[in-house]
Structure 1
Amino acid sequence: MNGPEIHIRFAPSLGLFVPAPRRTGRTAVTTDGVSTLGHVVESLGVPLTEVGALLADGRAVAPSHVPAHGEEIEVRGVERPQQVPGAPLRFLLDVHLGTLARRLRLLGVDAAYESEDIGDAALATRSAQERRVMLSRDRGLLRRRELWAGAYVYSHRPDDQLRDVLERFAPRLAPWTRCTACNGELTEAHKDEVRHHLEQGTERTYDVFARCTACGRVYWRGAHHSRLDTIVRTALRDFGDGTAA
C-alpha cells in the first residue's frame, strides 16, 4: 500500500489474530487511501466478527470509514454478552464443531450443524438465509461478506468452547428440550408409543421417555445421563440467567 499512514492499536483480546509486532502498543500502517477501515482491519488478520467499537481519533466510526492520514485508530473487541439484534438467537456450526453443537442442543439452544464440509460459500449463504450466527474456527469463513453474523470459537476443547459461546451470547437455556442428533424439539412420549424402538433391557429398566418431533429419535436417562447431567448442571450454575431470545 502507498498512501496515508495511520496508527492502529488493537485490544489485547484480538492479539490472537494479529502478527506479534502489532499485539501491543501503537503501530503504523500505510493504507491505499481508498480502502475502508473494515478492510484494513481484516487485512491485518482480524475478522470483523471479533471487532467491537472502532475509534478514529477518539470518535466512533463504522467499518465503512475511510481512514485519513495521521488518524489514530483503536480497534476494540466485542462486548460480552454480545447482542444479536433482529432475530431469535440461533447458531450454525461448521463440520469441525460437532461436539459443541451437541452440547448446545443438550442445553436447548438452537444449533444447526453441517456434518459434511459443504464449503464456506454455502455455509455463509445458509447463515444469511436462516439468520444464524456462524460459529467457526475458520477465519476465512468469518470474513465472508455473505454472513449474517459470526463468531470465532477460540478453543480446541469442547468444555472451553461451550463456556466461550455461553459467556459471549448468553442464550436462554432450556436443557433436555432438543434432539442432540438433529436439533429438533423433544416432546414427552408414553412408553407404549415408543416400545417398538426399545431394546428389551431398556424397556424393562426405564419408564420416562422423550421423542424428537423431527427425526423420531427416542431418549431416556440411560448410562450416559450422569455425564450429560454434569454438563447441564455446570452450565445452569454458571450461565443459567441467559435471557437472549
Structure 2
Amino acid sequence: MNGPEIHVEFAPELRLFLPNGRRRDGAAQVATDGVSTLGHVVESLGVPLTEAGPLLVDGREVPVSYVPVGGESVSVRPVPRPQRVPGAPLRFLLDVHLGTLARRLRLLGVDTAYESTDIGDPALAALSAAERRVMLSRDRGLLRRRELWAGAYVYSTRPEDQLRDVLDRFRPELRPWTRCTACNGLLKEATKEEVAGQLEGGTRATYDVFAQCTECGRAYWKGAHHEQLVAIVERAVAFRSAMDG
C-alpha cells in the first residue's frame, strides 16, 4: 500500500533529467514509505545527486539522508556555482565519449585524466575515488554510482559549450601550454636535438622552439594548427577572466 505523499518540485535547470511528462512543471507527487531517504527519492525521479544542490523541505535545508514525511513540500535546487570540491586538488576524469573536451582542458593546463577505451562504469568510479578526481560524463547511470569521489553531468554535446560549462561550474586554474594533450603529462622545454627523432625534414628545417612531454616524450612545436589552438585558449581565458570580474 502506498504511504502518504510528498510534493517534490525541481528547479528549471534540473528538469531535463525528468521523464517527459514531468518536465514542463518539474513537479511530482511521491508516496513515502518512512524508510527511503530524500536522496533516494530525487534519484528515483531521474536526477543524479551530482546535479542536486540544496534540498529544501518546507523551506528548511536538509541533508540527502533526510527521510521525508507525508505532506511535506520538497524543493530541489541546482548545484551552486562555482562548485567547490573540498579535500583534494581540483582534477578531472572524463569517460570515453569526451575526448575533445579532455584535450581542450589539457590544452589549458587543467589536470585531466581520460579513458580512450570503454573500461566500464565500475572501473571509472573506482578510478575517480582512488585518484580523487571529479568524474565528468553524460552517462547518468555512471554519475549515480556511490563509489565516485565527485561527479558532474556534461550538459552539452558541443565541445565549446562543454568547456565553458566546466569552466563556469568549477573555475579551475588555467595554465595554458603546460600539459600534454595526449597523455596529460607536464611539458618541458626541449632542444631540437632532444626531439629530432620525431621531426620530419620540413619541420626540422622550419622550427627551432620545442616542448616535450615529461611522461610520454611527445614533442610539440607551433605547427600548422597552432593558430586554431591559440584561438581556443584565448576564448577560454577571456571567458574565465570575465567570470572573475
Q: What TM-score comes out, normalization by structure 1 length? A: 0.96
2 CA distance for matches of 1:25 and 1:165? Answer: 25
2 CA distance for matches of 1:94 and 1:31? Answer: 35
Cα displacement (A) at 1:197: 2.0
Cα displacement (A) at 1:27: 3.2
Contact 2:54 2:77 in 1 (8 A): yes
Cα displacement (A) at 1:29: 1.3
Secondary structure of 1:52's counterpart equals strand
Cα displacement (A) at 1:25: 5.5
Aligned residue number for residue 163 of structure 1:
164
Secondary structure of 1:85's counterpart equals coil
CA-atom RMSD in angstroms: 1.4
Aligned residue type for 1:13: E
Aligned residue number for residue 9 of structure 1:
9
2 CA distance for matches of 1:125 and 1:51? Answer: 22
Q: Deviations over 1:54-83 (max 9, x none)?
A: 011111100000001111100000111111
Distance 1:14 1:160, change over 3 A: same
2 CA distance for matches of 1:54 and 1:170? Answer: 24
Aligned residue number for residue 84 of structure 1:
85
Aligned residue number for residue 136 of structure 1:
137
Contact 1:127 1:134 in 2 (8 A): yes
Cα displacement (A) at 1:191: 1.7
Secondary structure of 2:16's counterpart equals coil
2 CA distance for matches of 1:207 and 1:97? Answer: 33
- Identity of paired residues, percent? 72
Cα displacement (A) at 1:33: 2.0
Aligned residue type for 2:111: D
Higher mean C-alpha displacement, 196-205 vs 126-135: 196-205
Aligned residue type for 2:14: L
Aligned residue number for residue 19 of structure 1:
19
Aligned residue number for residue 184 of structure 2:
183
Cα displacement (A) at 1:21: 3.7
Give aligned pairs, total.
Answer: 243
Cα displacement (A) at 1:93: 0.3
Distance 1:220 1:144, change over 3 A: same
Aligned residue number for residue 114 of structure 2:
113
Aligned residue number for residue 123 of structure 2:
122
Contact 1:4 1:33 in 2 (8 A): no
Aligned residue number for residue 63 of structure 1:
64
Aligned residue number for residue 73 of structure 1:
74
Contact 2:211 2:220 in 1 (8 A): yes
Secondary structure of 1:192's counterpart equals coil
Q: Does 1:43 align with 2:44?
A: yes
1 CA distance for matches of 2:207 and 2:37? Answer: 61
